[in-house]
């Protein structure tokens, strides 16, 4: 008689699914001690997960390397994660997208803000998508609530700066850009 074990149907392994779960798990562990700057101190991981969700649900983007990069986009900038670790676990493509959207924390805040505007234009298509999702998520947050310690003026300055970044990458994803434009016209007086 056949061994009972061998009669259990074997499910096909779904590499895409397991890779994606590994990616969410990696980001959740890395951001575990970090909170957003809202009154409720929302877990930081809500942000990268939300950015990935904007890309799939609103941007119609299904490139897995882009989605993984969105989930991981703040790990190197804000935690002890290295680019080598990203490459070891998720490959060179994801590493390079994450690298493109990572600010150099050695620079002054003003210099970093200036560099984002300059880098936006020559970024890859994939990095631009992550940037669009990142900015849309953060601007929606600002539209609903002023982060703890921020003045109204700082919020409005962020809108003006974010528009300068987005204006460098027009024609990347029209659906996401239209949603960003609604927020810009609400907050930036021409
Ligand atoms: N709107 C908003 N932002 C919050 C909140 N909590 C944390 N952040 C993060 O703050 C950053 C925006 O604030 P800044 O003053 O520009 O940057 P800072 O973190 O260097 O102080 C964003 O970083 P980032 O994602 O790396 O984007 P960016 O620096 O490219 O804008 C955003 O994710 C929150 O409650 N609301
Ligand atoms: Mn971000």
What's the mean per-residue pLDDT of the chain?
95
Q: What is the pLDDT of residue 189?
A: 86
165: CB partners within 8 A, 6+ apart: 116, 117, 120, 131, 135
Residue 73 to residue 122: CA distance in whole angstroms: 18
The answer to whether ipTM exceeds 0.90 is yes
User: In angstroms, how far is the first alpha carbon of the chain from the final one?
Assistant: 80
Residue 25 to residue 68: CA distance in whole angstroms: 11
- Indicate the top mutation candidate among 113, 138, 163 to test ligand 1's pocket, ranked by most ligand atoms within 8 A of CB: 138
- Ligand with minimal distance to 135 CA: 1
Ligand 2 center from residue 13 Cα (angstroms): 32
The tens digit of pLDDT for each residue in 116-156 reads 999 999 999 999 999 999 999 999 999 999 999 999 999 99
Residue 162 to residue 25: CA distance in whole angstroms: 29
């Amino acid at each position: 008689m056949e061994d009972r074990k061998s009669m259990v149907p074997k499910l096909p392994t779904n590499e895409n699914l397991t890779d994606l779960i590994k990616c969410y798990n990696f980001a959740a562990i890395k951001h575990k001690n970090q909170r957003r700057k809202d009154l409720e101190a929302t877990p930081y991981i809500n942000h990268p997960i939300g950015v990935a969700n904007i890309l799939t649900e609103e941007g119609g983007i299904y490139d897995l390397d882009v989605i993984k990069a969105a989930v991981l986009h703040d790990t190197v900038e804000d935690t002890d994660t290295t680019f080598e670790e990203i490459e070891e676990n998720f490959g060179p493509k994801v590493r390079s997208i994450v690298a493109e959207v990572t600010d150099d924390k050695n620079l002054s805040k003003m210099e970093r803000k200036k560099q984002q505007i300059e880098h936006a234009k020559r970024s890859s298509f994939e990095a631009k998508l992550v940037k669009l999702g990142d900015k849309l998520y953060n601007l929606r947050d600002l539209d609903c609530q002023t982060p703890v310690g921020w003045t109204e003026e700082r919020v409005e300055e962020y809108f003006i700066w974010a528009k300068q970044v987005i204006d460098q990458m027009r024609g990347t994803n029209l659906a996401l850009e239209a949603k960003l434009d609604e927020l810009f016209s609400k907050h930036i007086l021409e």
